[in-house]
Structure 1
Amino acid sequence: MEVPVLLQNIFQYIDKNEQVYIQCLTEAVKIPSVSGIPNYREDVFRMVYWMEEKLKVLGVITEVCDIGTQVISTTENNSTKIALAPVLLGQLGNDPKKKTILVYGHLDVQPAAKEDGWDTEPFKLIQKNGKLYGRGASDDKGPCIAWLNAVEAYQKLNHEIPVNIKFIFEGMEECGSVGLEGFLKKRSDFLESVNCVCISDARWLGTKTPCLIYGLRGTCYFSIEIECASKDLHSGTFGGSVFEAMSDLVFLLDSLVDSSGKILVPDILEDVLPTTCEELKTYENIDFCVKEFKKAVGCEQLLHEDKIKILTNTWRYPSLSIHGIEGAFSDHGSKTVIPKKVIGKFSIRIVPNQDPEKIAKLVIDYLDKKWKTRKSPNNYKTSLTFSSKPWLSSVSHYNYTAAIKATEFAYNRKPDMIRIGGSIPVTLTFQEIMDKNVLVLPIGAGDDNAHSQNEKINIANLIQGTKLLAAYIFEISCVKEH
């Protein structure tokens, strides 16, 4: 497909400024904006203000918005309030004759430490073999910066930006976007005049073919709390005389899912929409290699070895994962202690047509019944920690039509249309509050190790992704609403 002359010029500018973009990402990764650890909250604030300064340079009118506080447990019986990371709003242009796109990204990251298994320091961007390693490089600082790069390319070449752009950057996404939905409802004034939404917080399915994402699973996150004593106990002195909380917890966790990945909670699949023959046919042409996927995972065997079964089980069926046990000894070495209290954590990724409240009731009722069969005198409680709904978008909307054409300009090939198994709670929030089409437009590759050790973004993905966003801006201005 022949690329318009305007975009050819912009693409050339982007190619020439590769090192500038890498330096910008280096600055961003250096800020350890970990939202899930209270001691890092100041760094999340710092990251928000860093981004605000970058937007101001581009002439964006900005507003840093306080969205309240959250209660954090400090000890078993004490808690404190700390400020939620602010939301950064930005507006570039207000021409009523132009379409207005809303761009969303998040500036917070998952925890990371070199001793967790990183080959390099996670908060120092390292360039190696065409890849940029660092926490947040792909999720989501790299894509956020790519938006800045795309806008700057238009401005530096004196090309009028053909759309109005509104930015929303938050700092609590890795904690479930705490406080964001309430804030957006209060700031409906900012959302007015928006025609469509674009989110670049995701990655491709594989490593070669660009993708557009139209569906996400939701999340129901649970905790099982069991207490057996008023203090930790010596196993030599008390082992064999008490009902141990850890044994109870392992019993309950083991009752949730079998070795084939089947969730054992009754009626959990009741509301799942059946797959259609037409839907399964679309999966056949998707660029997905089971061998490559297995290599990326780093395992010898998967629950399913068939391409379509893997895709359907990670996209459109729920799955249950056990995440950890709080209160148990987890350091290196040995410790012969019976913990007084343990908290097991697990989640279910839910799919369209499943309701978080109904799923929570099914799970809690099931575990309550299992607990009765255990006949333990210990204190027990299962609760829903947080939840987010699944999301589906309309791919026939011009938002997707523009993104498809932009992908062809940037990569010279059509994108795969996919759903993914992860959750981006804000997608449904935008769709429900604004009643506008939401597009997830990823630029990172499927092997970027988001949330894992050695997170990275390929330099090629950063550069071509910047071109993609620039082309998307152009195409949105060209298509007609329907």
Structure 2
Amino acid sequence: MQNGQHLVYLLFHGILDPWLTLQMLKCEYPPFLEWVAVESDSIQPDLRKEVIRIMALAADRLVALGAIVNLVNLGSHQLPDGQDLPLPPVIIGKLVVEPQNPTVTYGHVDVQPAKKEDDWKTDPYTLTEINGNLYGHGAIDNKGPVLAWINAVETFKALKLVVNFKFVIEGMEEARSLGLGKLLQEENQCFFSDVDYVVTLDSLWLSNKKPAFTYESEGNACFFVDVECGSKYLHNGTSGGISHEPLMDLIALLGNNMHHCSGVTGEQRVASLTEEESKLYEPIQFNLEEHKSNSGMKKFLYEILLHLCVFSKRSSPNKLKVSMPLGAKPWLADVNDPLYKAARRAIKTVFGEDPDFIWDGSTVPVARMFQTTMQKSVIMFSIGAADDGECFQNEKISTLLSAAFFLEIYKLHRHLHEKSNTETNN
């Protein structure tokens, strides 16, 4: 029996140990070392060639899987200094056996900036084993999960179980997914026209041991605030006491819009917690001491889980300019959707308990992009524990449960297809 088949065999019998060893991962993921070694930083312009290189590696991996792959050119974007920089292509690929039930899986293979001197225990671009965990930049966000899903698909092909896939892999997620929204719109009636479900790989659990699904992510609004004084630079020693310094205006303005505990004022506009959501949170496994250890914080603002026109008054002659060049809307899913029920059963199969359902304070624009464009169910399916360090130093990966989820999607597809045939015959 091949390693991938052996993995699923154990999964089906409910005795899979989720903490996989380095030897198993090396056997299942030969490209993992190579992928992590690529410095695919989408933020720094001088590393854009590396992002394009990792996209080519990911495309080759899908072709080896037997998928039909297209690298879609997105053109270029302009940097603040006026320089035009090519966007990395987006991979869209498909592996479809029966056309009636494809599922889109989304992932990204770019990373944020990282250097060894930024408190990394190891070289961030060298996959390293420590105590059974694999450390490396992109290990959990998001190269590791992408490879995990590809391997799970290989396993299902070997077992001749029908779960059809369409892949979307990008290289600009850490830079607000530039160009992806336009591509989704253009392909909505073509490549995505027959899609039933969308699964993204970006999120973490709330605890180190109990799995969780994120069904909401926050939006954000990025503001630039400019306070302009005179038309010339002034020496602080000779003019500081007789003029309104713009820095002081800026400090006062921002300070009056921040509460010392609750943060940005206006929080009272946030939608209230519903009774149904409150019940979802009751069984959540959250250990404050564990969270302190994961985050390195000694004290938090609140003790409980659920609590997670000024300028004119200053009579300043300075000019104020406020602009919002960037922003993203929040995303919210329906946890009663069949896709979430399938995911819940997958967690139950592997871990023997129901998952937590949580809101995430981070912003994941791509989830709303898919949901708004396709009007289909979207789920954030995470294989990362709270201490896996997504986007941070000493990032690692330690768990896999993708195959169990695919099995449940397979069952869901069969049930819906049989139900449709029954209704048609009647």
TM-score range with shorter-chain normalisation?
0.7 to 0.9
Q: Alignment partner of 1:26: what SS?
A: helix
SS at match of 2:35: helix
1:165 aligns with 165
> SS of the residue aligned with 2:264?
coil
The residue number in structure 2 matching 1:308 is 306
For 1:476 and 1:260, how far apart are their aligned partners in 2?
Answer: 45
- Of 75, 93, 98, 1:95 maps to 98
Cα offset for 1:397?
Answer: 1.9
Indicate conservation of the 8 Å contact 1:33/1:43, yes or no. Answer: yes
Per-residue CA distance 1:351-407 (angstroms, 9 max, x = gap): xxxxxxxxxxxxxxxxxx333334444454221131111112122222112111122
Offset at residue 167 of structure 1 (A) = 0.4
Q: Match for residue 402 of structure 1? A: 342
What is the Cα deviation at residue 103 of structure 1?
A: 0.4
The answer on 1:440 being equivalent to 2:380 is yes
What does 1:226-245 align with in structure 2 at a 5 Å threshold? 226-228=227-229, 240=241, 243-245=244-246
How far has the Cα of 1:175 moved from its partner?
1.6
Task: List aligned pairs for 1:118-129, cutoff 5 A.
Answer: 118-129=120-131
| Pair 1:198-2:134 in alignment | no
In the TM superposition, 1:456-467 aligns within 5 A as 456-458=396-398, 461=399, 464-467=400-403
Q: Is the 8 A contact 2:244 2:316 kept in 1?
A: yes
- 1:223 and 2:224 correspond: yes
AA aligned opposite 1:465: L
Cα offset, 1:240, TM superposition: 4.6
Moved more, 36-45 or 190-199: 36-45
- Structure 1's 243 and 69: CA in aligned 2 closer, same or farther, altered over 3 A? farther
Q: State the match for 1:269 in structure 2.
A: 268
Note the alpha carbon deviations across 1:249-284, whole angstroms, 9 max, x for none. 32222222111124324xx533x3222334323212
User: 1:420 pairs with 345, 355, 360, which one?
Assistant: 360
Measure how far apart 1:244 and its partner are.
3.9
Structure 1 equivalent of residue 261 of structure 2: 260
Q: CA offsets per residue over residues 157-199 of structure 1, 9 Å max, x none? A: x322412100001111112112211111011211011011111
| Aligned partners of 2:97 and 2:162 also within 8 Å | no
Mapped partners of 1:125, 1:6: distance in 2: 22
Instruction: Give the structure 1 partner of residue 422 of structure 2.
Output: none
Whole-angstrom distance in 2 between the partners of 1:123 and 1:185: 34
Pair 1:450-2:378 in alignment: no
User: Does the 8 Å contact 2:281/2:357 carry over to 1?
Assistant: no
Q: Matched residue pairs, number?
A: 406
**Gaps (5+ residues) in structure 2?**
420-426
Shift of 1:237: 6.8
Provide the C-alpha distance between the structure 2 equivalents of 1:69 and 1:379, rounded to a whole number of angstroms: 35
By how many angstroms is 1:442 displaced? 0.6
Verify: 1:42 aligned to 2:44, yes or no: no
Pairing 1:248–2:246 present: no
8 Å CA contact 2:116, 2:123 repeated in 1:
yes
Contact 1:133 1:457 in 2 (8 A): yes
- Secondary structure at the aligned position of 2:80 is classed as strand
SS at 1:116 equivalent: coil
Shift of 1:225: 2.9
Give the superposition deviation at 1:241. 6.1
Look up the SS of the partner of 2:401 in the other structure: helix
Partner-residue secondary structure (3-state), 1:121 = coil
CA distance 1:151–1:66, shift in 2 (3 Å): same
Following the alignment from structure 1 to structure 2, what is the Cα–Cα distance between the partners of residues 232 and 445?
51
Amino acid at match of 1:290: L
Amino-acid identity (%):
35
Q: Is the 1:199–1:441 Cα contact (8 Å) retained in structure 2? A: yes
Cα distance in structure 1, aligned partners of 2:332 and 2:35 = 31
Measure the CA separation in 1 of the matches of 2:233 and 2:44: 25
* Structure 1: distance between partners of 2:98 and 2:356: 33
28-37 or 465-474, larger mean C-alpha shift? 465-474
Q: Could you list the per-position Cα deviations for residues 195-223 of structure 1 after superposition, in whole angstroms to 9, with x for gaps in the alignment?
A: 11111111111111112222221121222
Shift of 1:55: 0.5
Cross-structure match for 2:423: none
Distance 1:82 1:231, change over 3 A: farther
**For the residues of structure 2 that align with 1:206 and 1:6, how far apart are their CA atoms?**
25
Q: Relative to 1, partners in 2 of residues 1:115 and 1:17: Cα closer, same or farther, differing over 3 Å?
A: closer
2:310 alignment partner in structure 1: 370
What is the TM-score when the length of structure 2 is the normalising length? 0.87
Cα root mean square deviation, aligned? 2.7
The residue identity in structure 2 corresponding to 1:139 is D
Tell me if 1:85 matches 2:88. yes
Aligned to 1:142: 144
Structure 2 distance, partners of 1:141, 1:206, is 21
- Looking at structure 1, the residues matched to 408 and 350 of structure 2 have their Cα atoms a distance apart, in angstroms, of 9
Match of 1:107 in 2: 109
Give 1:297's aligned amino acid. S
1:291 to 289, 292, 299: 289
Distance change >3 Å, CA 192–CA 287, structure 1 → 2: same
Matches of 1:232 and 1:453, distance apart in 2 = 40
CA distance in 1, matches of 2:125, 2:368: 31
Residue 233 of structure 1 and its aligned partner are, at CA, apart by 7.0
Query: Aligned AA for 2:332?
Result: L
Residue 223 of structure 2 contacts residue 322 of structure 2 at CA under 8 Å; is this kept in 1? yes
The alignment's TM-score, normalised by the length of structure 1, stands at 0.77
Aligned to 1:346: none
Other-structure match for 2:68: 61
> Partners of 2:155 and 2:254 in 1: how far apart?
52
Inter-partner Cα distance in structure 2 for 1:220 and 1:203: 23
Change (3 A) 1:244 1:40: farther
Native 8 Å contact 2:11 2:404 kept in 1: no
SS in 1 for 2:344: helix
Is contact 2:156-2:162 (8 Å) kept? no
Find the aligned partners of 1:276 and 1:391 in 2 and give their Cα distance.
Answer: 17
C-alpha separation in 2, matches of 1:6 and 1:141: 20
The aligned residue for residue 183 of structure 2 is: 183
Contact 2:259 2:265 in 1 (8 A): yes
Equivalent residues of 2:371, 2:377 under 8 A apart: yes
Q: Distance between the aligned counterparts of 2:228 and 2:392, measured in 1?
A: 31
The 1:145–1:229 alpha-carbon spacing in structure 2 relative to 1, beyond 3 Å, is farther
Distance 1:253 1:21 in 2: 51
Q: Report the CA distance between 1:235 and its aligned residue.
A: 5.3
How many Å apart are 1:143 and its aligned residue?
Answer: 0.9
Change in Cα spacing, 1:10 to 1:280, as seen in structure 2 (3 Å) is: closer
